[in-house]
Structure 1
Amino acid sequence: MGANYTPTNGWFHHWLDFELDSVRRDFDSLAAIGLDHVRVFPLWPVFQPNRTLVRPRAVEQLCALVDAAAERGLDVCVDALQGHLSSFDFVPSWLHSWHRRSMFTHPEVVEAEALYLHTLASALADRPNFLGMTLGNEVNQFSGPPHPDPDLCTPDEATAWLERLLAVCEEAAPGRLHVHGAYDAVWFRDDHPFTPAQVARLGAASVVHSWVFNGTAQRHGRGGAATLHHAAYQVELTKAWAEPGRPVWLQEVGAPGPLIPPSFAAEFAVETLRNAWDCEDVRAVTWWCSHDVPRSLGDFPEREYDLGLLTSERARKPLADAVGEFAAALRADPPAPRTRSTALVLDVGDEEYAPARSTTAPGGEFYEAWAVLAEQGVRPTAVLAGRASDPAHLSRRGIVEVLRPEEVNRPG
Structure 2
Amino acid sequence: MPSAVRFGVNYTPSEGWFHHWLDFDPDSVRADLDSIAALGLDHIRVFPLWPYFQPNRTLIRPRAVEQLVALADAAAERGLDVNVDGLQGHLSSFDFLPAWTGTWHRRNIFTDPEVVEGEETYLRTLAAALADRPNFIGMTIGNEVNQFAAGPHPDPDRITPEQAGRWLTRLLAACAEGAPGKLHLHASYDAAWYQDDQPFTPEHSARLGDLTAVHSWVFNGTAQRHGRTGTATEHHAAYLVELSKAWAEDPHRPVWLQEVGAPAPLIPAEHAAAFTEATVDNVLDCPDLWGVTWWCSHDVSRDLADFPELEYGLGLLTNERRPKPAAEALARVVQERRTHRPAPRTTALVVDTAAGRSVCAPGGAVFEAFARLTADGARPTTVLESRADDKDHLAARGITEVVTPEQVTQ
TM-score by length of 2: 0.97
For residues 179-198 of structure 1, the aligned pairs below 5 Å read 179-198=185-204
Partner of 2:3: none
2:163 aligned to which of 152, 157, 161: 157
1:101 & 1:5 partners in 2: Cα distance?
A: 30
Check if 1:41 corresponds to 2:16: no
Check if 1:384 corresponds to 2:384: yes
1:330 Cα shift? Answer: 2.2
What is the aligned-residue RMSD (CA, Å)? 0.8
Do the aligned partners of 2:251 and 2:393 also contact (CA within 8 Å) in 1? no
Partner of 1:207: 213
1:75 & 1:188 partners in 2: Cα distance?
A: 31
Partner of 1:340: 345
Give the AA of the match of 2:388: A
1:228 aligned to which of 224, 229, 234: 234
1:67 Cα shift? Answer: 0.3
Tell me the SS of whatever aligns to 1:64: helix
Partner of 1:128: 134
Tell me the SS of whatever aligns to 1:251: strand
2:276 & 2:99 partners in 1: Cα distance?
A: 39
Check if 1:274 corresponds to 2:297: no
Partner of 1:80: 86
Check if 1:245 corresponds to 2:252: yes
2:182 aligned to which of 176, 182, 203: 176
2:390 & 2:258 partners in 1: Cα distance?
A: 31
1:369 Cα shift? Answer: 0.8
Give the AA of the match of 1:152: R
Tell me the SS of whatever aligns to 2:223: helix
Check if 1:301 corresponds to 2:303: no
1:99 & 1:166 partners in 2: Cα distance?
A: 25
Deviation by residue 1:147-193 (Cα, 9 ceiling, x = unmatched): 00111110000000000000011111011110000001000011110
Partner of 2:67: 61
Deviation by residue 1:307-361 (Cα, 9 ceiling, x = unmatched): 0000011111011111111111123xx1211100001110012xxxxx6111000
For residues 4-23 of structure 1, the aligned pairs below 5 Å read 4-23=10-29
TM-score by length of 1: 0.97
Check if 1:401 corresponds to 2:401: yes
1:264 Cα shift? Answer: 1.1
Percentage identity across aligned positions?
A: 66
1:170 & 1:94 partners in 2: Cα distance?
A: 25
Tell me the SS of whatever aligns to 1:22: helix
Give the AA of the match of 2:395: S
Tell me the SS of whatever aligns to 1:164: helix
1:389 & 1:316 partners in 2: Cα distance?
A: 49
Deviation by residue 1:286-311 (Cα, 9 ceiling, x = unmatched): 00000000011000000000000000
Deviation by residue 1:34-70 (Cα, 9 ceiling, x = unmatched): 1110000000000000000100000000000000000
1:262 Cα shift? Answer: 1.3
Give the AA of the match of 1:343: A
Tell me the SS of whatever aligns to 1:33: coil
1:116 & 1:224 partners in 2: Cα distance?
A: 43
Check if 1:26 corresponds to 2:32: yes
2:57 aligned to which of 28, 51, 60: 51
Give the AA of the match of 1:84: H
Tell me the SS of whatever aligns to 1:240: coil
Write out the 4+ residue segments of structure 1 that deviate beyond 2 Å after TM superposition.
Answer: none
